[in-house]
Amino acid sequence: MYRHVPINKVEIQDDFFQPRILQSRESTIPYMWDTLHDRVPGVAPSHCIENFRIAAGLQDGAFHGWWFQDSDLWKWLEGVGYALSLKRDAALEAQADSAIDLAEQAQQPDGYLDTYYIINGLDKRFTNLKDNHELYVAGHMFEAACAYYAATGKNKVLDISCRFADCLCENFGPEAEKLHGYPGHEEVEMGLTRLYAVTGEKRYLDLALYFLNERGKQPYYFDEEVIRRGEKVEEMRRDFWQTYGYYQADVPVREQTVARGHAVRQLYLLAGMVEAGAAAGDESLVEAAERVYENIVHKQMYITGGVGSTHVGEAFSFDYDLPPDRCYTETCASIALIMTAIRLHRAHPHGKYGDIVEKALYNGILSGVSLDGKKYFYMNPLETWPQRCETRNDMHIDDERKGWFGCACCPPNVLRTLTGLSMYLYTENDEYLYVDQYVSSDVEAGDTKLQVESSFPWKGEVKITVEKAGSKKLALRIPGWAKKYVFAINGEEMDHDVWNGYEFAGQVQDGDVITLSFPMEVKKMRSHAHIPEYAGKVALMMGPVVYCLEEKENGDELWNLSLTDAPLTTLWQKELLGGVMTIRGEGVREKGTDTLYTDEEKATENQTLTFVPYYAWGNRGKGEMRVWVRKA
């Protein structure tokens, strides 16, 4: 069975990612801690810790925030767990332990723990699984508990989670006296499976499988709970976000073939199907998840690895509907995409999954956080015009990052992704060690130890030194964008032996040096013919990085610019946007006219266009941006 190399066995030393991980630890974690305590002026209040204090009986007050406000703390704690796995920190542990102590005080005698219902009435718990996210919050709690336990060996939060998981097992299942429901927002399936992996308690896996297998059966459980609450089913179904497809619950999961509904829910469902299916040896769940995933990456994914094309329900719409200026492309959805991709890879290793992880990591996820780690995009459009964003009420696009959100699911999700980055870099089983991403790091997998030195994403040189060969054979991912490359061992160029997107180096020896050289060519990417907004346009990529035009270098009215066929050049700019490789090309600007419409040809002038990495846009104040540019 394939698995990620333990996080404490990977030491990242990468020029690109290591500063972001250190920033997450030294800046983002304390910033979020203060935000959860409502100590950061000028940002949306969280009330998260105060909700726990009220639920614990330490102060009076009402619940504030979304039903799932508790999950912000659990995702923060998961990120802390990964940070502590890399380096122990007594002060940070003390903070985390204080939050765990508070959660323990709020936990009910039967193990239940959700501050929304503890404060607003325990008699209402488990009465609205469709909307109120109890099981979603539980899933994040379980994942946080496993991460923190693995980092510190402290079992208090693990015990809290097991008590809540036991409570769920007592209340849900196939038995007649139990509830036969499933979550409206998927996530608990991953959490329960992970809790099973840590504790060996099989009923946690069984419950995850029950939730998956029950989903989509008729009569619909969501109808039944609505009726029990004395409400009308017809009223529940009147909006798109109240339909069963929105919740991926209109048909059983094994019968689903295309992505629909809320994008994060869809991908959390797929990740849970793969994780629980693989743990249980149920290949039908893995295959069903693969079908929907393939629909996403081939027909419903943006070039940046963003997913979810409409703000209505934060959802998928239909194949090839990928508008650039009003796409929702929630940061959490790109994170959920790589969570699904890496689990599929570990079920059936293939380089195509690493390609998607790479695409989303360098583009759709990093764009969600500012370069200083303290401001965030909830949505990640591919085109912005600030005046339109600010004026039209049908855009739902922010033209600058925010310090926090009332619905703050994305910031702590980015935190746990960056501090847990090493889990996406390597895959192992007893026979093989797969190098999935080229991030400079030392890795120890069983009796095999490597030093990986990478110049990604700006250059394509990779050097792997075998410090200890051990018993594992090496497999090295060949990125899908690398049409040509050189593969050598100890200076001797090797024939290509690619299988499922990987070069297999075979059994290496101590001291061997493996090198890979991937040409970082600037490519003009075209879209599928079914996407009307990109007809006659190109997007620039270099290696895994998507580029964009910003107003700062190119002036306003970016829609009047076209890119010619003149050669493109690259320029490293150390002082720009934290250090980036820019791309320059010759372009043409159409000049405006004094009349609204005219039959006269527009005048043009030549202009040099400067492209910057998409992930770094929006760090210099408000301004226009676009990824897709007309081809002259």
Q: Token pair 């004094």 is at which residue?
A: 594
Measured at the alpha carbon of residue 278, what is the angle toward residues 126 and 344, in degrees to the nearest 5?
Answer: 100
Extract the tokens encoding 67. 């039903």
Q: Which of 34, 80, 5 is nearest to 418 (CA)?
A: 80
Give the C-alpha separation, 248 to 268, whole Å.
11
Q: Which of 464, 496, 492 is nearest to 483 (CA)?
A: 496
Q: Which residues are catalytic?
A: 314, 409
Q: φ and ψ at 167, to 5 degrees?
A: -60, -40
Give the C-alpha separation, 194 to 502, whole Å.
28
Extract the tokens encoding 281. 């040896």
DSSP sequence for 426-493 = EEE-SSEEEE-S---EEEEETTEEEEEEE-TTTS-EEEEEEEE-TTPEEEEE--TT-SS-EEEETTEE
Give the C-alpha separation, 450 to 383, whole Å.
41
Q: Are 414 and 82 in contact (CB under 8 A)?
A: no
Peptide bond preceding 457 in cis form (omega within 30 of 0): yes
Q: Are 623 and 550 in contact (CB under 8 A)?
A: yes
Question: Strand ranges (DSSP E) for 270-334?
Answer: 315-316
3-class DSSP state of 562: strand
Give the C-alpha separation, 518 to 407, whole Å.
41
Looking at beta carbons, which pairs linking 190-193 to residues 24 or more positions away fall under 8 Å? 190/139, 190/143, 190/268, 190/271, 190/272, 190/275, 190/276, 190/339, 191/138, 191/139, 191/140, 191/141, 191/142, 191/143, 192/139, 192/142, 192/165, 192/168, 192/276, 193/272, 193/275, 193/276, 193/279
Give the C-alpha separation, 147 to 128, whole Å.
29
